[in-house]
Amino acid sequence: MKKNIVIIFILLATTGLFAQDYQPDLYEGIPHSNKQRVFLDNFDDNRYFWIKESSPATHRIADGFLYFSNEYDFPYIDGKAIAFDGSKNFELETRIKFVSGDVEAFNGIMWGQLVFGEKYIFGFSSMGYYAVQSEDGFTESNIIEPQQTEIINKTADNNLVVRKYGEKYYFFINQNLIHTMDYAGLPGQYIGFKVAPNSMIRVNFLRLWYIN
């Protein structure tokens, strides 16, 4: 009996130790083994029905990429409804390349409500700036003003990560932490992309994980 108690104590202590080892402000600060996949699209096919062939906003899938073109004179947002609990610890990740269009405007990842509701957007411009934005209906505002950084690839892929852990959001570009802010819940369950006016992006993947 004593032996069993000792084993249980060791297991509990070890589990607690591992939990304390999380470093959410580091890109690799949370082991992959402690993540539970909620959504994954590598764009090998159209299983999630991204393809839209009618202008002015079109999506096509080719060679394992999603090409998202926006011919509007204003930003365009599209996404997928995912049944996930945003109050849990989670990680949202994508890889985006700016292909053509407005080099000063922002392209990026979104989460929240899709059309007229509240959403957050984490994006970058091809001029080497990043921003975290909020949108409620047609009103867009900067949570942080655009910041310039050398870690953005102006003509190549950029890896974007939004990590919610505890009461904080952590934002990474190309595995570098660039911003931290307090967590605020959103009512929507959409994840997707924002494309700048008259622009095109190429997306490599879209992933969503719970952090256990």
Mean pLDDT of all residues belonging to the chain? 90
Where is pLDDT greater, at 16 or 93?
93
% pLDDT > 90, the chain: 76
CA dihedral 189, 38, 132, 55 (to 10 degrees): -70
Give the integer Cα–Cα distance in Å for 209 and 161: 11
For residue range 112-151, what is the model confidence (pLDDT) as tens digits? 998 788 999 999 999 999 999 999 877 889 998 999 999 9
| Res 2 pLDDT > 70 | no
Confidence of residue 8 (pLDDT cuts 50, 70, 90): very low
- Percent pLDDT > 70 in the chain is 91
Domains of the chain: 37-211 (2.60.120.560)
Give me the pLDDT at residue 16, please.
44
User: Do the beta carbons of residue 88 and residue 212 sit within 8 Å?
Assistant: no
Average pLDDT over residues 45-70: 94
